[in-house]
Amino acid sequence: MGYAVEVKNVVKKFPSVVAVNDVTFTVDEGEIFGLLGPNGAGKTTLIRILTCLMKLTGGEAKIRGYDVVRKPGVVRKNIGVVSQAMTSDLDLTAWENLDIYGKYFDIPRKERHETMKYLLETVGLKDRARELVATYSGGMRRRLEIARGLIHTPYLLFLDEPTIGLDPQSRLVIWELLQKIRSETKLTIFITTHYMEEADKLCERVAIIDYGKIVALDSPVELKRSIGGFDIIELSLSELSPAIMERLKSMKFIKNVTEKESSVRIYVEDAAKAMPVLIEEFKRLNIAILNLAIHEQSLEDVFIHYTGKSIREEEAQKFNPFVGPGLPRQMPGVRI
Ligand SMILES: Nc1ncnc2c1ncn2[C@@H]1O[C@H](COP(=O)(O)OP(=O)(O)OP(=O)(O)O)[C@@H](O)[C@H]1O
Ligand SMILES: [Mg+2]
């Protein structure tokens, strides 16, 4: 089986910055692969290279074995793109937006309309399909753009920050939608995000990118394991004696215990598994848990470990997909 995406030593230099700096990785067929990084990390630049919108400065990239520089026509047929900036036409209905895209790809009328109906149903816009996109919420517009990206039944779907600027509820709907599409088809999904939770929940493997370089790549679970950290359970107890500390230290799954005033910090590999055991033990010892806080390892910790900074700091200057120039409306290289 070949790779869905092969990126080998790819470099993209702009006059004032190296946006992509010697990046190498592969994406398997049918995988949900995530590129996680802060503002300016090079995510969109890499997507533009992979979707034939931008020439690379060095290295090579292939989609389904086809070189993005030498075979852009075949590559475009194989990919769907949901760009960071929303580009659906506000003055048209969802149906019209999809119809125009279907025509770009020369899909015969009957087949086109059948696919459109199926996609509108899938993304939950069937009942609003004849309304102007201008009346849609951000989440609805994003779902329409996902449907648009799938109109020609691509082999691979690129989504550049698909949930940026959306409220948590709409974000969840998009995640569920992508998971549903993936479970029903063999589609490979390549997503960029700067939301830790999105990468964690949605992606089978995640590449962390910072200043144009991949600093770590693995499944979310392995990434968290790789930094050797632990979940921390912080408990305030009705009683805390040296004997209790000794008892805790003797428990096998507890990696470390520290004491601070009347509370105790317990370091474990998996807080969800450890908690029931701890509750039982304190019950047995007749000690009440007065307060409880759990800090679970997150991709945020992984990001800090590999880059020395928090991704949240970078979030301040968020990109707003609803304003600004966005990307060209017309699909590259395809004429009406
Ligand atoms: N057309 C361009 N000309 C010059 N510099 C550019 C161009 N496009 C991007 N850059 C620069 O390349 C770097 C990477 O930008 P890119 O848009 O790829 O980042 P990103 O990871 O997508 O960030 P964001 O989360 O803000 O979307 C930034 O320093 C950016 O200013
Ligand atoms: Mg971007």
Tell the residue nearest (CA) to atom 16 of ligand 1.
42
Tell the residue nearest (CA) to atom 10 of ligand 1.
19
With tokens 């609803």, the residue in question is 322
The boundaries of every CATH 3.30.70.980 domain in the chain are 230-295
Q: Is 43 in the pocket of ligand 1 (CB under 6 A)?
A: yes
Ranges of beta strands (E only) in the chain are 5-14, 17-27, 32-36, 58-63, 66-67, 79-82, 156-160, 188-193, 205-210, 213-218, 231-237, 254-260, 263-268, 289-295
Tell the residue nearest (CA) to atom 1 of ligand 1.
14
Distance of CA 85 from the midpoint of ligand 2 (Å) = 9
Q: Is 40 in the pocket of ligand 1 (CB under 6 A)?
A: yes
Domain at 230-295, CATH from 3.30.70.980, 3.50.50.60, 3.30.420.140, 3.30.420.40: 3.30.70.980
What string of pLDDT tens digits covers the 336 residues of the chain? 689 999 999 999 999 999 999 999 999 999 999 999 988 999 999 999 999 999 999 999 999 999 999 999 999 999 999 998 999 999 999 999 999 999 999 999 999 999 999 999 999 999 999 999 999 999 999 999 999 999 999 999 999 999 988 888 889 989 999 999 988 888 999 999 999 899 999 999 999 999 999 999 999 989 988 887 788 899 999 988 899 999 999 999 998 898 877 789 899 988 989 999 999 999 999 999 999 999 888 898 899 888 887 776 555 445 555 543 333 333 344 333
Distance of CA 115 from the midpoint of ligand 1 (Å) = 34
Give the whole-angstrom CA distance, residue 114 versus residue 76: 22
> pTM of the full predicted structure?
0.83
Name the burial class of residue 288, with classes exposed (0-12), middle (13-18) and buried (19+) by CB atoms within 10 angstroms of its CB: exposed
Q: Is 211 in the pocket of ligand 1 (CB under 6 A)?
A: no
Give the whole-angstrom CA distance, residue 33 versus residue 192: 8
Query: For residue 133, which phi and psi values (nearest 5 degrees)?
Result: -65, -25
Q: Which ligand lies nearest the alpha carbon of 36?
A: 1
The boundaries of every CATH 3.40.50.300 domain in the chain are 5-225+311-317
Q: Which ligand lies nearest the alpha carbon of 45?
A: 1
Q: Write the class of the CATH domain 5-225+311-317.
A: alpha beta
Distance of CA 120 from the midpoint of ligand 1 (Å) = 32
